[in-house]
Structure 1
Amino acid sequence: MHGSITFVPMLGFFTLLAKEIQRFLKVPLQTVFAPMMTTLLFLAIFTLAFGGERGHESGVPFSTFLAPGLIMMSVIQNAFANTSSSIVISKVQGNIVDLLMPPLTSLELTLAISLAGLARGLVVAVAVATCMYFFVDLSVHNWFAVLYFLVAAGLMLSLLGMIGGIISDKFDHMAAVTNFVIMPLSFLSGTFYSVERLSGIWYELSHLNPFFYMIDGFRYGFLGTSDSEILKGALVVGLLDLFLFAVVWFMLGRGFKLKA
């Protein structure tokens, strides 16, 4: 009938997803190129400082060993930053109601925001990997492992960012989560070294760090070698993604720390 409203399935989901993606694409210098430059600086500094002394790591040049870990670290930081900042900014500015009032289910909210965070992580990963191609001898050994751990890691940090944003009331709280949880876990996950070099309790603690399995599996996709069982790492990361998704879905469904 002319003038009637046509129902489009998932329209709200796709609208919110597009809005969240456009939010970081509007400032690419801050959200894409800045982390890309930071990651390349890490590569240059560690290669220049330790490349000659370390020689080879896991049977490959140190720069080749380091590159996958740095790419994954950029995904971790940016996927987390995208979702956490989106929610915290909305809460601080008082427009979180614009997210809660539309007829969107908690499942649609969880999917849209987390996938947008994943999208930012993937965009940064592609930008970083493209630049590294000119400086590091890096080839893909297993595309499935590369794509699986890349997507699973980006999704995990997107969901963690949503949890951090929901429980935080201001930017200081979010900064505390970033500095005391995300950064230590990412730096102590084998990004810059092989955990096989560790011994005793440090070796055991490394295997309790879920970020280790993300980086180790992603590095396996390039080098063909790993510090742990790849199937075990894939299972750990996949199960954690499902658990975190359920937690975020529950929190949004209850309006935890979002509704007045």
Structure 2
Amino acid sequence: MSLARQWGLEGVRPLFAKEVLRFWKVSFQTVAAPVLTSVLYLLIFGHVLEDRVQVFEGVGYTRFLIPGLVMMSLLQNAFANSSSSLIQSKITGNLVFVLLTPLSHRAWFAAYVGAALVRGVAVGLGVLVATAWFAFPSLAQPLWALVFAMLGGVLLGTLGLIAGLWAEKFDQLAAFQNFIILPMTFLSGVFYSVHSLPGAWYAVSHLNPFFYLIDGFRCGFFGASDASPWLSLAVVSTATLGVSLLALHLLKSGYKIRS
């Protein structure tokens, strides 16, 4: 018996390829547009704060900002990919064609989250390349950057999967993104160091798992961070495992996709 069959992962490849092709066919909208948005953020915030803010010694604000923008773009687009795919399939009725296949819940999970990770990484790399002309930050500890990029894509891809299963219309999905995902990403230290916050907000920031993603990813570039990268790894790994188990349970039970 093959390993794929043993783990219930047969059929992952065609569904994964379908999901990747879905966003890549409109890559100008799904990849290029988020890259342009991040470059605009860099131009505005970098121009205004470059000479006024220094977080790490010897690191200018523009260099400090780039890893945060890369990770923020990765997270937001990983979430958008899996959530938009599911809600569109549910509303248009195309989901029935996937339901007719003998795919297991593990295969669904691997395909949707895997495609979300691919889109997130593609956008993140695009942002990194586009912003390198302004100030390319050296990779002091590239392994940390890679680990947190992968975990971030999986975590947000899984959250997008859960949101897509829960939402029954685009308004509900937009509310999930606007009131949960966007605030958590913007308030995770993308544009600032949490050490600059007052005591109460400093404590609240450490309750946000996205903070540990941004901080751990930034550690890979500069070898410095606001929190220990090992603590960040523990928090992010626990959060990723928790939402993954929840998503697998929802898929197995057919939550809002099977009558």
What TM-score results when the alignment is normalised by the length of structure 1? 0.95
Structure 1 runs (4+) deviating above 2 angstroms are 8-11
**Rounded Cα–Cα distance in structure 2 between residues aligned with 1:136 and 1:57:** 16
Map of 1:251 onto structure 2? 250
Map of 2:55 onto structure 1? 57
> What is the correspondence of 1:179-258 to structure 2 with a 5 Å cutoff?
179-258=178-257
1:156 and 2:147 aligned? no
**Rounded Cα–Cα distance in structure 2 between residues aligned with 1:125 and 1:99:** 29
1:37 and 2:40 aligned? no
3-state SS of 1:155 partner: helix
User: Deviation digits for residues 122-172 of structure 1, max 9, x if unmatched?
Assistant: 111111111111111311011110100000001100000000111000000
Map of 2:69 onto structure 1? 70
**Rounded Cα–Cα distance in structure 1 between residues aligned with 2:242 and 2:51:** 42
Contact 1:58 1:194 in 2 (8 A): no
Map of 2:17 onto structure 1? 18
User: Deviation digits for residues 213-236 of structure 1, max 9, x if unmatched?
Assistant: 000000000011100111010011
User: Deviation digits for residues 197-250 of structure 1, max 9, x if unmatched?
Assistant: 112210110000000000000000001110011101001111111111111111
**Rounded Cα–Cα distance in structure 2 between residues aligned with 1:128 and 1:53:** 24
Contact 1:13 1:108 in 2 (8 A): yes
What letter corresponds to residue 58 of structure 1 in structure 2?
F
What letter corresponds to residue 162 of structure 1 in structure 2?
L
What letter corresponds to residue 137 of structure 1 in structure 2?
F
> What is the correspondence of 1:63-102 to structure 2 with a 5 Å cutoff?
63-102=62-101
**Rounded Cα–Cα distance in structure 1 between residues aligned with 2:206 and 2:65:** 19
What letter corresponds to residue 163 of structure 1 in structure 2?
I
Distance 1:58-1:198 versus aligned 2 partners, 3 A rule: same
User: Deviation digits for residues 77-102 of structure 1, max 9, x if unmatched?
Assistant: 10000000000001111222122220
Q: Percent identity of the aligned residues?
A: 42
Map of 1:3 onto structure 2? none
**In the comparison of the two structures, how many residue pairs are matched?**
252
Contact 1:35 1:74 in 2 (8 A): yes
Map of 1:176 onto structure 2? 175
**Rounded Cα–Cα distance in structure 1 between residues aligned with 2:98 and 2:13:** 14
Contact 2:10 2:107 in 1 (8 A): no
The Cα of 1:48 is off from its aligned counterpart by 1.0
Which runs of 5 or more structure 2 residues have no equivalent in the other structure? none
**Rounded Cα–Cα distance in structure 2 between residues aligned with 1:78 and 1:19:** 17
What TM-score results when the alignment is normalised by the length of structure 2? 0.95
Map of 1:4 onto structure 2? none
Say which is worse superposed, 103-112 or 88-97, in terms of deviation: 88-97
What letter corresponds to residue 128 of structure 1 in structure 2?
V
What letter corresponds to residue 213 of structure 1 in structure 2?
Y
Contact 2:10 2:103 in 1 (8 A): no
**Rounded Cα–Cα distance in structure 1 between residues aligned with 2:98 and 2:195:** 46
3-state SS of 1:133 partner: helix
The Cα of 1:256 is off from its aligned counterpart by 0.5
**Rounded Cα–Cα distance in structure 2 between residues aligned with 1:105 and 1:137:** 43
